[in-house]
Amino acid sequence: MNMPVDGPAAGLAAGPSGRPEAARAEDAEDGDPSAVHLRELALFLSVHLDRAPGVLWPEDVHPLLDGLPDGDDAADAVRADRLELLASGLAELTGLATRAVAGGVGTGGDEGEGGDGDGTGGASVPPGHLLVHQIAGAAVWSLAEGREGGGPCASLRYRLRSGEVLYVPDGWSRRAEPTSGARCTVLVLGSTPPSPAGV
């Protein structure tokens, strides 16, 4: 993991033992890869959200992403269900409105093969913060900070490998150049807590 996991830099309240609340909660759920992965994402977001892009090398792959099916209508339905479960788990933990992008698994290849060039398999990615899980293969992501008035902006390139997670802040342009056979999932995060069901 490329981020501090305790102390004020992580933005977490320390308990009486001096350990962050999230780390103490982790003790209660040791060994559950789903919970570990979601906690890692939440800690990662506590450092990067609304600040700067970043890459996470998770300790565990979320079981919903392991062996994610691809290819036919039945696989598409299973994949969509799994991604919605992942999105709802992250939303519950972080309080951020979170949704999976339909068709978020890209197939890679030539630059134009990903539809609009953002590496999402041709899916239209709505505005918001992005979490890209690289499921297979690799992709080079070019990111540029959007600035009003066209002033100078930050420009970054990341090579995302299988198992890694890329955070892209809202307002940053992004373009992926996936390798052949590269696959990813995309979660879009809002800045506000999700609305209660039925509202």
pLDDT reported for residue 42: 92
Per-residue pLDDT tens for 63-75?
777 776 666 667 7
Higher-scoring residue by pLDDT: 3, 189? 189
Q: Where are the domains positioned within the chain? A: 53-189
3-state secondary structure the chain: CCCCCCCHHHCCCECCCCCEHHHHHHHHCCCCHHHHHHHHHHHHHHHHCCCCCEEECCCCCCCCCCCCCCCCHHHHHHHHHHHHHHHHHHHHHHCCCEEECCCCCCCCCCHHHHCCCCCCCCCCCCCCEEEEEEEECEEEEEEEECCHHHCCCCEEEEEEECCCEEEECCCEEEEEEECCCCEEEEEEECCCCCCCCCC
Task: Say which CATH topology domain 53-189 has.
Answer: Jelly Rolls (2.60.120)
Predicted pLDDT at 113 = 34
Give the model's pLDDT for residue 146: 76
